[in-house]
Amino acid sequence: MPEGHTIHRQVVDQAPLLVGRAISVSSPGGRWAHVAAAVDGRVLRTLEAHGKHLFYVFDHRRVLHVHLGLAGRLRHHGPAAGPTRPDPPRRDTALRLETPELTVDLSTPRTCEVIDAVTQGRVIARLGPDPIAADDDRDLAGRLATYRGPVGTALLDQAVIAGIGNVYRAEILFLCGIHPERPASSLSPSECDVLWATTSRLLRAGVDDGGRIITVDRREAAADRRRTYVYGRRRCARCGSVIRRWDVGGRTAWACESCQPAWTGPGWTGPGWTGPAPTGSGELSP
DNA sequence: ATACCATGAACAG
DNA sequence: TGTTCCTGGTATC
C-alpha cells in the first residue's frame, strides 16, 4: 500500500544494506534497460524519501527516481548465497538492484527514471512538507487558509502535505473529528496544528509498524482485529454508526458523520443548506 | 473463470 | 471533469 510511510520504510530497510556499496542494477524485463545502464555498478551514496517519492543518489551524481503509483511494488530477497536466495525475477520486474546482502525488485512503477540533482530538487520543490521527515509544518494553516476546496481534497494534494494517501486521509480526518467536506479554509490554526500532529504521528507509526497502516487505539477497538476506524469499514470502530462512503476530490471518502459532524458554516453546501427558494413545480428534475 | 475495485497521478480537453 | 495506465486482492459466477 504505497502511501508515504511505505517509502520511508523502504529507506529504513534498504539503506543499511545498500548505502556505500556498488549496486548491480538490471532490467529483467528489458523495458527499463536504459535506466539500469545509467546507474549499474555505481556506489550508492544516499537513499532519500520525500512523500511518496524515493531517490537513490549515486556517486556519479545521478539519481534514480522511483514513484510506485497505484500498482508499483518493491520486493526484497535475501543474498544469492544465503538461505533466502532470490527468486528468479518476475517478468514484470522493471529493475533488480543487487548487492551481496540484498536483492530488491521493483515492479510496475509509475515513475522510474534517472535524473540529476537539480531535477530532483525540482521534484521535491513541487511537494509540500513531509510529515515523516519534517517537524515543521511549513505554515500548513496558511496553505489551507487559501485553499479553495474541501479539506478532504487538500489532504490528497501532495503540494499541501506530501505522503498522505486515501487510507490515511480517512483516518486522519476521523481522529481529528473533521468532516471531509469542510472547506479547507474554514479550519482554525489550532485545528491545523492538530491535523499536522496527527498526520505526523500516524505516518511515523506506519513506518514503525513495517509499512502496515494501523490507526486504531487497541483499547478502543479491542473487540475486533481491524486496523482502521473508518476506512474499509461498514461501521465506525468508535461509535458503531454506519460509515458513509462517497466521492470527495475524485477518490472515495470514508467518514463517520457522528464522530465527524458536518460543517454548517460559511461555504458549506452539503445537506442542511437551505439554498435559494425553490422555483417551478417543486418536482425533482429527472 | 471472470468482474470489479483499490493505497496514485498524469494527461486531454 | 473524465480517461488512462498498471497489478493484485476480493467478490461473484
pLDDT digits (tens, 9 = 90+) for A153-166: 999 999 999 999 99
Q: In terms of domains, do A55 and A114 share one? A: yes
Range of the domain at A160: 140-255
Q: Is residue A262 part of a domain?
A: no
Q: In terms of domains, do A97 and A42 share one? A: yes
All cell numbers assigned to A24: 548491480
Cα distance between residue A270 and residue A181, in whole Å: 8
Q: Is residue A264 part of a domain?
A: no
Q: Kind and range of the H or E element at A153?
A: helix A151-154
Q: Integer distance in angstroms from CA A152 to C1' B1?
A: 38
Q: Give Cβ neighbours of residue A97 (< 8 Å, ≥ 6 apart).
A: A18, A23, A24, A25, A56, A103, A104, A106
Q: Is residue A272 part of a domain?
A: no
Average pLDDT over residues A196-211: 93
Q: Which of residues 30-49 of A touch strand B (CB under 7 A)?
A: none
The mean of the pLDDT values for chain A is: 88
- Asked if the Cβ of residue A92 lies within 7 A of any atom of strand C, the reply is yes
Q: Which residue has the cell 435559494?
A: A276
Q: Give Cβ neighbours of residue A125 (< 8 Å, ≥ 6 apart).
A: none
Q: Is the pLDDT higher at A15 or at A221?
A: A15
Active site residue A191: no
Active site residue A201: no
From A42, A52, A96, A169, the catalytic residue = A52
Q: In terms of domains, do A13 and A117 share one? A: yes
- pLDDT band of A284, cuts 50, 70, 90: very low
How many structural domains is chain A composed of? 2
Q: Is residue A215 part of a domain?
A: yes
Average pLDDT over residues A140-164: 95
- For chain A, helix (H) and strand (E) counts, in that order, are 7, 10
pLDDT at res. A8? 96
Active site residue A52: yes
Q: In terms of domains, do A45 and A105 share one? A: yes
Task: Render pLDDT for A256-283 as a digit per residue (tens, 0 to 9).
Answer: 999 999 988 765 554 443 333 333 332 2
Q: Integer distance in angstroms from CA A17 to C1' B9?
A: 31
- pLDDT band of A185, cuts 50, 70, 90: very high
Q: Is residue A114 part of a domain?
A: yes
Q: What percent of chain A has pLDDT above 70?
A: 88
pLDDT at res. A77? 87
- pLDDT band of A80, cuts 50, 70, 90: low
Q: Is residue A48 part of a domain?
A: yes
Chain C footprint bases within 7 A of protein beta carbons: 1-3, 5-8
Cα distance between residue A127 and residue A207, in whole Å: 20
pLDDT at res. A220? 72
Which segment of A68-77, A82-91, A193-202 scores lowest on mean pLDDT?
A82-91
Q: Domain with A12 in it: what CATH number? A: 3.20.190.10
Q: Domain with A231 in it: what CATH number? A: 1.10.8.50
pTM: 0.90
Asked if residue A202 lies in contact with residue A231, where contact means CB atoms within 8 angstroms, the answer is no
Q: In terms of domains, do A115 and A158 share one? A: no
